[in-house]
């Protein structure tokens, strides 16, 4: 079995290079980028600390019109008092069960039924007891059980001493306390002594339907023993009402940013004075510093969440200085745009928070990096928008909807015109989101519709216009590989590909076939098919250094092999060197890091052909396996793994003398299984289900490449020869 690498290297993204080793300079630079981003976000999200308080009281005449610099809330004393009274009215009266009274009633009933084992039963204390004693044993048992059941039922409901102790009719429910247990009880179920006795008589008639002495005795017995077992608790009720009054919510109304607090030359009203006083309290130095600290804590929490997310799903960003700079710059750009939008843009009825184009950042990150990072960016920026717009959930929701919807519009984008369509989709999504949140906030219908149409479509228009202009700048500044760049590299007129076609035609044709295989397989498993195809085109450019040492470039007219004059170890070095040469050529030609990684990783650490030849020549076993393995690393991404599999499958299938569909299937499955067993796929994200799909794609494409042909008519000698050749291939 192949040896595992001593240390697993960080995985590369589909668009970026694998992380370099722990370099102190690059690590310090990444920490500096993170710190600058963090401090910049705090500065952009924090409220202005230069505002001073306002000292206008009721009756004062301002010299200039005063507007609110922030959005804030003001206590409404009238509404707060109404809420307090409503909270007090909702407190239910408290009644306490007297457990001693319940036990006493049961004891009184039991006293009328002395135990039979007493040697000399005591004389009956009253005529009722004498009547009970004169009953037969069965009647006494019936009487005792009936009385106990009715007594338990009435006692559980609660019996008050007097009708005046009942709760008023406006109280639907009361609280009954029995020790530490409290239950809510319908106030209509509570009764008082006289009503309980009447209820007892009705219950006796129901339980003992036959008239007679037994029913009369039971009624008299219950009348004798019934007593109050419930009492109103005024102290506890008052305490709870006081607590409800204290805990009643305070009612605030909102003052919008830019709202007029006082007009020039007009005396300040009491209502406006309350607004100004509240604003002065909001803008004290202590409160501003506290808010600054809160934003710093919130930003730190988001930074931790971002780090945890990337550590699990997008670790390549943490190890790439360029991607980290792109990530931080995008956050700062959108935070600055949001702050400028709400500070300097003002409309009579349109909320400027709805115009913050979060989708610009989401689309740039999706195109330049990947959708996972873009979703994270859109979510974080949406939270920042909520902070910038004074913690308004409607702007947060709209920003999140616009950002997420844009990601799905530009995922795997191949044409720049798609950005215009993405802007339209973002506009429609924002329109629906704005309409929904404004209606939930009970905005007037005309204002909701205006904000939805103007804000939503305006936001989409900004995204459609700005994103195409910013994207080339980000590509150039941060050197990111986009699908647009990959499409340019897929042109077969590229200098490296033209050179490969002229100097190593066999490798060139093989690369084209590998590209077809890789693209189909990547599509099947949801990988980046464009990257896989372009990477396959360039994966063997290193063979340009020594093209004649590779079998596919040796013409049939010269069957002699160059390797026959070399030792197995030298032949192995020639094979292995094409990977290193390819990496150097790719870097010199300015190929993107993702393509360079595929070139470096497409052989992984596999064992080449000459190992077996060396073992055959050295039966003593002194041949070291590691000398015949490619240096690696193993494929780190799905795209690199797919190119590696496609390259091996294409080469193995080309070596078949008769590539029938059955043999192609057997060969494909054998190659993929050997790669899996050798551990070449351990460091990428391909699953067993992915491998099954990849193998089916390879089989389908290769069966089409090596399809059989109908024999040519043999009316000419040349055609007859072609037909014979076709029959031999079949």
Instruction: List, in order, residues 6 or more apart from 329 with CB less than 8 Å away.
Output: 478
Instruction: List, in order, residues 6 or more apart from 684 with CB less than 8 Å away.
Output: 11, 634, 635, 636, 637, 638, 640, 641
State the chain's mean pLDDT as an integer: 81
**Given this model, what pLDDT does residue 611 score?**
65
Task: List, for residues 352-361, the tens digit of each pLDDT value.
Answer: 889 999 999 9
**Would you place residue 385 in the very low, low, confident or very high pLDDT band (cuts 50, 70, 90)?**
very high
**Given this model, what pLDDT does residue 709 score?**
62
Q: What does pTM read for this prediction?
A: 0.57
Higher local confidence (pLDDT), 347 or 504? 504
Residue 693 has pLDDT above 90, yes or no: yes
Q: Where are the domains of the chain?
A: 24-31+284-480, 87-244, 500-729
Residue 294 has pLDDT above 80, yes or no: yes
Residues 625 and 630: their CA atoms lie apart, in Å, by: 10
- Mean pLDDT is highest, among 141-145, 151-155, 303-307, 704-708, for 303-307
Which whole number is the average pLDDT over 692-720?
74
Higher local confidence (pLDDT), 629 or 380? 380
**Given this model, what pLDDT does residue 726 score?**
34
Sign of the dihedral through C-alpha 605, 606, 607, 608: negative
Residue 561 has pLDDT above 80, yes or no: no
- Mean pLDDT is highest, among 189-203, 333-347, 510-524, for 510-524
**Given this model, what pLDDT does residue 612 score?**
63
**Given this model, what pLDDT does residue 720 score?**
41
**Given this model, what pLDDT does residue 17 score?**
40
Weakest mean pLDDT among 3-7, 186-190, 316-320 = 3-7
Higher local confidence (pLDDT), 481 or 538? 538
Residues 272 and 188: their CA atoms lie apart, in Å, by: 49
Residue 458 has pLDDT above 50, yes or no: yes
Task: List, for residues 409-421, the tens digit of each pLDDT value.
Answer: 887 777 777 888 8
Q: Could you list the beta-strand ranges (E) of 242-282.
A: 252-255, 260-262
Higher local confidence (pLDDT), 282 or 577? 577
Higher local confidence (pLDDT), 360 or 574? 360
Residue 16 has pLDDT above 60, yes or no: no
Residues 244 and 85: their CA atoms lie apart, in Å, by: 9
Which whole number is the average pLDDT over 442-446?
87
**CATH 1.10.10.10 is the classification of domain 24-31+284-480:** no
Residue 648 has pLDDT above 50, yes or no: yes
Instruction: Print burial letters for 296-318: b (CB count within 10 Å at least 16), e (below 16).
Output: bebbeebeeebeebbeeebebbb
**Given this model, what pLDDT does residue 392 score?**
82
Whole-number percent of the chain with pLDDT over 90: 28
Residue 293 has pLDDT above 60, yes or no: yes
Higher local confidence (pLDDT), 596 or 256? 596
Which whole number is the average pLDDT over 700-710?
80
Residue 198 has pLDDT above 90, yes or no: no
Tokens of 711: 């024999």
C-beta separation of 642 from 527 below 8 A: yes
Q: Report how far Cα 29 is from the mean position of its chain's Cα atoms.
A: 29
Weakest mean pLDDT among 15-19, 28-32, 95-99, 252-256 = 15-19
Task: List, for residues 74-110, the tens digit of each pLDDT value.
Answer: 888 888 888 888 888 888 888 888 877 777 787 777 7
Rounded to the nearest 10°, the torsion over CA 496, 502, 505, 510 is 20
Which whole number is the average pLDDT over 547-554?
74
Rounded to the nearest 10°, the torsion over CA 640, 641, 643, 644 is 120
Q: Which CATH architecture has domain 500-729?
A: Orthogonal Bundle (1.10)
User: CA angle, corner 17, sides to 12 and 20, nearest 5?
Assistant: 90
Tokens of 488: 């340019």
**Given this model, what pLDDT does residue 6 score?**
38
**Strand-pair category, 191-192 with 230-232:** unpaired
Instruction: List, in order, residues 6 or more apart from 712 with CB less than 8 Å away.
Output: 719, 720, 722, 723, 726
C-beta separation of 395 from 356 below 8 A: yes
Closest CA to 193 of 216, 167, 164: 164
Residue 613 has pLDDT above 50, yes or no: yes
Residue at token pair 């710059």? 329
Residues 316 and 324: their CA atoms lie apart, in Å, by: 9
**Strand-pair category, 260-262 with 66-67:** antiparallel
C-beta separation of 209 from 142 below 8 A: no
Which whole number is the average pLDDT over 331-358?
85
Question: Is 647 buried (19+), middle (13-18) or exposed (0-12) by CB count in 10 A?
Answer: buried
Closest CA to 326 of 531, 482, 463, 484: 482
Residues 679 and 686: their CA atoms lie apart, in Å, by: 12
How far, in Å, are 64, 70, 278 from residue 262 at the CA level? 8, 15, 14
Whole-number percent of the chain with pLDDT over 70: 84
Residue 305 has pLDDT above 50, yes or no: yes
Residue 140 has pLDDT above 60, yes or no: yes
Reading phi first (left if > 0) and then psi (alpha if -120 to 50, else beta), residue 500 is in alpha
**Would you place residue 615 in the very low, low, confident or very high pLDDT band (cuts 50, 70, 90)?**
low
**Given this model, what pLDDT does residue 619 score?**
65
C-beta separation of 61 from 266 below 8 A: yes
Closest CA to 46 of 370, 299, 220: 299
Which whole number is the average pLDDT over 263-267?
79
User: Does residue 66 sit in helix, strand or coil?
Assistant: strand
Question: Three-state secondary structure along 369-435?
Answer: CCHHHHHHHHHHHHHHHHHHCCCCHHHHHHHHHHHHHHHHHHCCCCCCCHHHHHHHHHHHHHHHHHH
């Amino acid at each position: 079995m192949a040896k595992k690498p001593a240390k697993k290297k960080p995985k590369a993204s589909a668009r970026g290079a694998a992380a370099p080793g722990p370099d102190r300079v690059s690590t310090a630079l990444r920490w500096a980028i993170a710190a600058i981003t963090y401090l910049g976000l705090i500065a952009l999200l924090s409220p202005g600390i230069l505002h001073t308080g306002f000292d206008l009281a009721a009756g004062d005449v301002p010299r200039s019109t005063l507007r609110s610099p922030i959005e804030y809330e003001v206590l409404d004393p009238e509404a707060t008092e109404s809420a307090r009274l409503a909270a007090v009215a909702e407190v239910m009266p408290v009644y306490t069960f007297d457990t001693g009274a319940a036990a006493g009633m049961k004891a009184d009933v039991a006293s009328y039924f002395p135990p039979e084992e007493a040697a000399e039963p005591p004389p009956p204390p009253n005529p009722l007891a004498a009547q009970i004693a004169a009953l037969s044993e069965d009647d006494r048992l019936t009487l005792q059980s009936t009385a106990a059941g009715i007594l338990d039922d009435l006692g559980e409901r609660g019996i008050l001493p007097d009708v005046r102790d009942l709760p008023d009719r406006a109280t639907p429910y009361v609280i009954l306390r029995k020790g530490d247990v409290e239950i809510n009880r319908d106030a209509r179920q509570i009764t008082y002594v006289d009503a309980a006795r009447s209820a007892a008589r009705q219950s006796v008639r129901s339980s003992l339907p036959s008239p007679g002495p037994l029913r009369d005795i039971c009624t008299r017995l219950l009348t004798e023993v019934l007593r109050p077992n419930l009492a109103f608790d005024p102290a506890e009720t008052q305490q709870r009402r006081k607590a409800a009054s204290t805990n009643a919510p305070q009612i605030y109304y909102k003052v919008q940013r830019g709202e007029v607090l006082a007009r020039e030359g007009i005396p300040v009203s009491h209502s406006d004075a309350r607004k100004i006083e509240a604003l002065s309290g909001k803008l004290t130095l202590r409160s501003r510093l506290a808010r600054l600290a809160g934003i710093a804590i919130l930003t730190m929490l988001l930074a931790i969440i971002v780090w945890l997310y990337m550590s699990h799903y997008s670790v390549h960003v943490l190890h790439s200085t360029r991607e980290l700079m792109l990530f931080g710059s995008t956050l700062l750009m959108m935070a600055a745009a949001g702050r400028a939008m709400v500070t300097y843009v003002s409309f009579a009825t349109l909320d400027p928070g709805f115009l913050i184009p979060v989708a610009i950042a989401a689309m740039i990150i999706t195109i330049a990096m990947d959708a996972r990072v873009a979703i994270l960016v859109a979510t974080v920026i949406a939270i920042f928008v909520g902070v910038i717009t004074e913690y308004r959930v409607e702007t947060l929701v709209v920003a999140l909807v616009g950002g997420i919807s844009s990601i799905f519009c530009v995922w795997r984008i191949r044409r720049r015109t798609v950005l215009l369509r993405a802007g339209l989709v973002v506009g429609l999504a924002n329109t629906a989101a704005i309409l929904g949140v404004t209606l939930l906030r009970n905005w007037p219908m005309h204002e909701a519709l205006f904000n939805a149409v103007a804000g939503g479509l305006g936001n989409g228009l900004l995204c459609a216009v700005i994103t195409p202009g910013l994207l080339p700048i980000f590509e150039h500044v941060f050197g990111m590989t986009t699908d647009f760049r990959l499409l340019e590299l897929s042109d077969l007129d590229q200098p490296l590909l033209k050179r490969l076609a002229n100097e190593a035609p066999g490798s060139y044709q093989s690369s084209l076939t590998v590209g077809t295989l890789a693209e189909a397989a990547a599509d099947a498993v949801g990988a980046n098919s464009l990257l896989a195809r372009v990477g396959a085109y360039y994966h063997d450019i290193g063979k340009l250094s020594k093209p004649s040492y590779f079998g596919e470039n040796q013409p049939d007219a010269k069957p002699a092999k160059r390797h026959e004059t070399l030792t197995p170890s030298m032949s192995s070095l020639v094979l292995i060197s094409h990977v290193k040469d390819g990496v150097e050529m790719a870097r010199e030609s300015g190929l993107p890091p993702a393509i360079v990684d595929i070139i470096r990783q497409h052989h992984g650490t596999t064992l080449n052909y000459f190992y077996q030849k060396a073992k055959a020549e050295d039966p003593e076993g002194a041949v070291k396996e590691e000398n015949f393995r490619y240096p690696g690393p193993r494929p780190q991404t799905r795209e690199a793994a797919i190119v590696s599999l496609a390259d091996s499958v294409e080469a193995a299938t080309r070596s078949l003398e008769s590539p029938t569909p059955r043999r192609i299937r057997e060969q494909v499955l054998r190659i993929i299984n050997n790669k899996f067993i050798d551990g070449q796929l351990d460091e990428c994200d391909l699953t067993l289900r992915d491998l099954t799909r990849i193998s089916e794609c390879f089989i389908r494409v290769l069966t089409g490449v090596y399809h059989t042909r109908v024999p040519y008519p043999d009316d000419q000698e040349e055609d007859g020869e072609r037909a014979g050749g076709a029959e031999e291939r079949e």
